[in-house]
């Protein structure tokens, strides 16, 4: 996988420069199966050390337009991970209590503790995405948030949390096909929402809002990756690889063995 997908800090992102159908030379799902399996296994092993050591935390942020594949990513990439050491939080429309606090309040509470992998299915970025597109707060309020978010993420990073942020990039045509598939299959009907179809009308506004978030909030301590996501199998391969590589670079080890483990007698 030669391409990096990492957005360097201060890059001016234009999403039209990124091909959502890119698949790195792979032709079909079967071509990526073994590699995905290896990554999932690597992740399983790394997470066990992370859990045992209890020193580092990993936060994975997933953002995408509707039907972008956030749920599928979690299902496929995290399938080897011990559920006990992993916590998924899906951020919905804020509750009344959440609304009565600053927008990072609910986010901060959900960040992973040491030893854990935390996955955000949507995140604080909604506060510069849906909130901006629908003008839920005045412009000067959301404008100030990019800097606040960078500071917040810096605090997390300085406290032992490794942060990876993935934007799952699909095309407008692919979204239409996925909505249609949800309608066509009775077992997928539950995923279909007229609200999502309505949101689609704001595609261009969302594109601009995403471009700003990706441009302004990819930092050395909390990088954004733009993942080509029209092909679900390639998306899974890319994300599993980045997560495993990132964990692999952390200096993690099992706690030192007991010096006299062989001398301890366990009574019958």
In the complex, which residues of this chain contact ligand AMP (CB under 6 A)?
91-94, 122, 126-127, 130-131
Closer CB to ligand AMP, 43 or 64, in the complex: 64
Please give the residue whose beta carbon sits closest to ligand AMP in the complex: 126
Question: By C-beta, is 53 or 71 nearer to Mg ion?
Answer: 71
Nearest distance in Å: CB 161, ligand AMP:
21
Compute, in degrees rounded to 10, the torsion defined by CA atoms 62, 222, 18, 5. Answer: -100
* Nearer Cβ to ligand AMP (190/254): 190
Question: 1 vs 136, which CB is nearer to ligand AMP?
Answer: 136
User: What is the total count of residues that contact Mg ion (CB under 5 A)?
Assistant: 1
Q: How far is the CB of 205 from ligand AMP (least distance, A)?
A: 13
On whether the CB atoms of residues 241 and 31 are closer than 8 A, the answer is no
Task: Find the part of the chain contacting Mg ion (CB under 5 A) among 63-71, 80-88, 101-109, 245-253.
Answer: 63-71
Per-residue b/e over 86-124, b at no fewer than 16 CB within 10 Å?
A: bebbebeebeeebeeeebbebbeebbbeebbbbbbbbbb
From 1-9, 61-69, 140-148, 206-214, give the range in contact with Mg ion by CB under 5 A.
61-69
Indicate the helix (H) or strand (E) that contains 240. helix 232-249
Task: Output 108 or 203, the one with its CB closest to Mg ion.
Answer: 203
Sheet of 161-169, strands arranged across: 86-90, 117-121, 57-64, 161-169, 224-228
Of residues 66 and 127, the one with the C-beta less far from Mg ion: 66
Q: Measured from the CB of residue 252, what is the shortest distance to Mg ion in angstroms?
A: 35
- Contact (CB, 8 A) for 153 and 163: yes
268, with CB counted inside 10 A (0-12, 13-18, 19+), is exposed
What DSSP letter does each residue of 92-149 carry, written as one string? -SPPHHHHTS-TTHHHHHTSPPTT-EEEEES-GGGGGTHHHHTT-S-HHHHHTHHHHH
**Least CB distance to ligand AMP at residue 152 (A):** 14
Q: Which stretch binds Mg ion (CB under 5 A): 52-60, 64-72, 73-81, 94-102?
A: 64-72
Partner from ligand AMP, Mg ion, none contacting 91, C-beta within 5 to 8 A by type: ligand AMP
Least gap, CB of 118 to ligand AMP (angstroms): 16
Residue of closest CB approach to Mg ion: 66
Contact 248, 56 (CB under 8 A): no
Interaction site with Mg ion (CB under 5 A): 66
């Amino acid at each position: 996988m030669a391409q990096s997908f990492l957005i360097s800090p201060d890059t001016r992102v234009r999403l039209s420069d990124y091909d959502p159908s890119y698949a790195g030379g792979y032709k079909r799902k079967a071509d990526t199966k073994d590699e995905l399996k290896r990554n999932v296994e690597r992740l399983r092993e790394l997470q066990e050390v992370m859990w045992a050591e209890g020193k580092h935390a990993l936060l994975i942020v997933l953002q995408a337009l509707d039907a972008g594949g956030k749920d599928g990513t979690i299902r496929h990439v995290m399938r080897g991970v011990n559920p006990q050491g992993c916590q998924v939080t899906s951020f919905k429309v804020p509750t009344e209590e959440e609304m009565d606090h600053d927008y990072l309040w609910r986010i901060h509470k959900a960040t992973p503790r040491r030893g854990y992998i935390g996955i955000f299915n949507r995140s604080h970025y909604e506060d510069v995405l849906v909130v901006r597109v629908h003008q839920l707060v005045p412009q000067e309020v959301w404008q100030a948030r990019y800097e606040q978010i960078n500071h917040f993420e810096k605090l997390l990073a300085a406290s032992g949390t490794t942060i990876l942020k993935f934007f799952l990039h699909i095309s407008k045509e692919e979204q239409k096909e996925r909505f249609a598939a949800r309608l066509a299959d009775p077992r997928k009907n539950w995923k279909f929402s007229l609200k999502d179809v309505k949101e689609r009308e704001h595609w261009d506004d969302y594109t601009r809002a995403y471009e700003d978030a990706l441009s302004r909030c990819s930092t050395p301590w909390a990088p954004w990756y733009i993942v080509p996501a029209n092909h679900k199998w390639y998306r899974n391969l890319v994300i599993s690889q980045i997560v495993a590589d990132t964990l692999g670079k952390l200096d993690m080890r099992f706690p030192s063995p007991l010096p006299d483990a062989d001398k301890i007698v366990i009574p019958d």
